Amino acid sequence: MASNHTIKRCKPLLGTFIEVDLYGELPEKDLVHWSNIAFNEIERIHHALSFHAPESDISVLNRALLTEPQSAHNLTNDLSVILAFAHALFKSTQGYYDLSVASILVNDKHLPDHLFLANSFEHNQPLGTFADVLISNNQISSKRPIIIDLGGVAKGYAVDQAIALLPEDICGSINAGGDMRVIDWQNKKVEIKYGKRFSALKKLQMANTALATSASYYNQGGSQYFNPIANHYVKIKGSMSVFSEKAMHADALTKVALLVERQQAKQILKDYNATAISINRFGFSRQLS
């Protein structure tokens, strides 16, 4: 009878630490091989979708959307998947979920200004929002100049893509700084951090294969969660976690649960077969959906 082997590995990518834990009835060298494939896919996406990298696919697209917004710009497969999802969520949230808040994050120095926004536009020429965006046939255009930051949703997407490459006889999990997928998630529990102190951890039952958590306790200089409708930052006292079928969905839906009116948020979560759980700073949890 074959014996189970387990490996646990960690690498810095996507602005966080990527943890790959795999086990199965395979030789350890095979598990290492598959973990390398997962890491390589995450690294590929990191280089393609990072706002911080001036030559990444998203930075190249942002320059095009700044200088020639009304032209149709081709999207890579990665960008096509993520932006189609983000555009649909922008519509269903009536503008609360909007990746074009990147310009505000740049202005407030939460993101680098390697696109030289401060020198490109006068203050009376605000950039566009996702309401200006048209996505069709793997192409994007905008009525007004716009820039996009994929942020956490790129982390979730990277986790989903890496998991999809693993064979069916491998179990385990991939965790990208709180955006995670657990292959054999049934009857598993996970610890959610809801505060800065070491003991601020709460165990929750996994409700689906993917999980993402948003919180403010490590954000230096204040919250980076911006409400584009109310035009202010949102401070989270505790954490907001979402279980869903994809880590990309779970990450985006944490912002929906934080920003959108409760009944509307519950319907959107239901549409994605997702469950949201908030944990306050005292460790008490409440299910939103």
Q: What is the pLDDT of residues 23-48, one digit of tens each?
A: 999 999 999 999 999 999 999 999 99
Residue written as tokens 């930052």?
233
Which region holds residue 173: left if phi is over 0, alpha if psi is between -120 and 50, else beta? beta
Task: Look at residue 103 and tell me if it is in a domain.
Answer: yes
pLDDT of residue 221: 53
pLDDT of residue 134: 98
At residue 117 the predicted structure's pLDDT band, cuts being 50, 70 and 90, is: confident
Same-domain pairing of 171 and 219: no
Task: Look at residue 158 and tell me if it is in a domain.
Answer: no
Same-domain pairing of 123 and 257: no
Same-domain pairing of 106 and 144: yes
pLDDT of residue 122: 52
Same-domain pairing of 203 and 280: yes
| Rounded (10°) CA dihedral 57, 147, 149, 275 | -120
Q: What is the mean pLDDT of residues 90-110?
A: 94
Please tell me the distance from the alpha carbon of residue 13 to that of residue 235, in angstroms, as a whole number. 26
Task: Look at residue 269 and tell me if it is in a domain.
Answer: yes
Which among 266, 203, 280, 199 has a CA at the least distance from the CA of 236? 280
pLDDT digits (tens, 9 = 90+) for 193-243: 988 888 889 999 999 999 999 988 766 555 578 999 999 998 888 999 999
Task: Look at residue 80 and tell me if it is in a domain.
Answer: yes
Task: Look at residue 230 and tell me if it is in a domain.
Answer: yes
- How many residues are present in the chain? 289
pLDDT of residue 59: 96
**What's the CATH number where 211 sits?**
3.10.520.10
Strand partners, 253: none
pLDDT of residue 107: 87
pLDDT of residue 1: 44
Q: Into how many domains does the chain fold?
A: 3
Same-domain pairing of 47 and 167: yes
Same-domain pairing of 119 and 66: yes
Task: Give the range with max mean pLDDT: 63-77, 99-113, 123-137, 190-204.
Answer: 63-77
Angle 213-127-99 (CA atoms, 0-180°, nearest 5)? 20
Reply yes or no on whether the pLDDT at 68 is more than 80: yes
pLDDT of residue 194: 87
Q: Are 110 and 226 in contact (CB under 8 A)?
A: no
Same-domain pairing of 113 and 142: yes
Of 73-87, 113-127, 145-159, the range with the lowest mean pLDDT is 113-127
Range of the domain at 271: 185-289
Please tell me the distance from the alpha carbon of residue 6 to that of residue 23, in angstroms, as a whole number. 4
pLDDT of residue 53: 93
**What's the CATH number where 117 sits?**
1.10.3980.10
Same-domain pairing of 47 and 118: no
Please tell me the distance from the alpha carbon of residue 40 to that of residue 46, in angstroms, as a whole number. 10
Task: Look at residue 215 and tell me if it is in a domain.
Answer: yes
Please tell me the distance from the alpha carbon of residue 234 to that of residue 226, in angstroms, as a whole number. 6
pLDDT of residue 126: 75
Task: Look at residue 105 and tell me if it is in a domain.
Answer: yes
In the predicted model, what is the mean pLDDT of the chain? 92
Task: Look at residue 46 and tell me if it is in a domain.
Answer: yes
pLDDT digits (tens, 9 = 90+) for 253-288: 999 999 999 999 999 999 999 999 999 999 999 998
Please tell me the distance from the alpha carbon of residue 282 to that of residue 22, in angstroms, as a whole number. 33
At residue 100 the predicted structure's pLDDT band, cuts being 50, 70 and 90, is: very high
Q: Specify the DSSP class assigned to residue 235.
A: -
pTM of the model: 0.93
Same-domain pairing of 66 and 140: yes
Q: Specify the DSSP class assigned to residue 258.
A: H
Instruction: Cite the beta strand spans of 108-207 per DSSP E.
Output: 133-136, 139-142, 171-176, 179-182, 189-193, 201-205
Q: What is the mean pLDDT of residues 6-22?
A: 94
Same-domain pairing of 45 and 61: no
Q: Classify 113 as helix, strand or coil.
A: coil
Same-domain pairing of 245 and 194: yes
Same-domain pairing of 168 and 207: no
In percent, the amount of the chain with pLDDT more than 90 equals 81
